[in-house]
C-alpha cells in the first residue's frame, strides 16, 4: 500500500499570496496517477488536478500541479477567498488507492 504524506498540515496565508502544498509517496506512483482535491466545509471533494499536472474542467490556471515519482506539488499562484479550504492528494495508480491526510489552507 502506498502511503501519501502531505505537508504542511496547515498553511496560514493571506489572499493574493502563493501557496505550495506537498504530497510525498512512500513508493513511486504508477504512471504519475496522482490527483488533487479541494474540499470546502459540508461539500464533497472537488477534483482539481489529475495525472499529477492536468487541470480538471473549469479549474483556473492559477492552480497547477507538478511532480513525478514520489514527490508532487500543488501550487496556487495567488490565493483567492474561495481557495481557503482543505486539500487532499490521492494516488490511483496502484490498488488500494490511497489519500493523504490533507492540508488546510487558512486565512492568516
Partner 1 sequence: QVQLQESGPGLVKPSETLSLTCTVSGYSISSGYYWAWIRQPPGKGLEWIGGISHSGNTFYNPSLKSRVTISADTSKDQFSLKLSSVTAADTAVYYCARGVLIWGQGTLVTVSS
Q: Is 1 in the site for partner 1 (CB under 8 A)?
A: yes
CB of 104 to partner 1, least distance (A): 11
Q: Is 53 in the site for partner 1 (CB under 8 A)?
A: no
C-alpha cell at 55: 487541470
Q: Would you say 34 and 70 are in contact if contact means Cβ atoms under 8 Å apart?
A: no
Which is it for the CA torsion 60, 66, 68, 73, positive or negative?
A: negative
71-76 and 19-25: which strand pairing? antiparallel
Choice from 2, 13, 56, 59 touching partner 1 (CB under 8 A)? 56
Q: Is 60 in the site for partner 1 (CB under 8 A)?
A: no
Question: Where along the sequence are the contacts to partner 1 (CB under 8 A)?
Answer: 1, 35, 37, 44-45, 47, 50, 56, 88, 90, 92, 95-102
Amino acid at each position: 500500500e502506498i502511503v501519501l504524506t502531505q505537508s504542511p498540515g496547515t498553511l496560514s496565508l493571506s489572499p493574493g499570496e502563493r501557496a505550495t502544498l506537498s504530497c510525498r509517496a512512500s513508493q513511486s506512483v504508477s504512471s504519475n496517477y496522482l490527483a488533487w482535491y479541494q474540499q470546502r466545509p459540508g461539500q464533497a471533494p472537488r477534483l482539481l488536478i489529475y495525472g499529477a499536472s492536468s487541470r480538471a474542467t473549469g479549474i483556473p490556471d492559477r492552480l497547477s500541479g507538478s511532480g513525478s515519482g514520489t514527490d508532487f506539488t500543488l501550487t496556487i499562484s495567488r490565493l483567492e477567498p474561495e481557495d481557503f479550504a482543505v486539500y487532499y492528494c490521492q494516488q490511483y495508480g496502484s490498488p488500494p488507492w490511497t489519500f493523504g491526510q490533507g492540508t488546510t489552507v487558512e486565512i492568516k
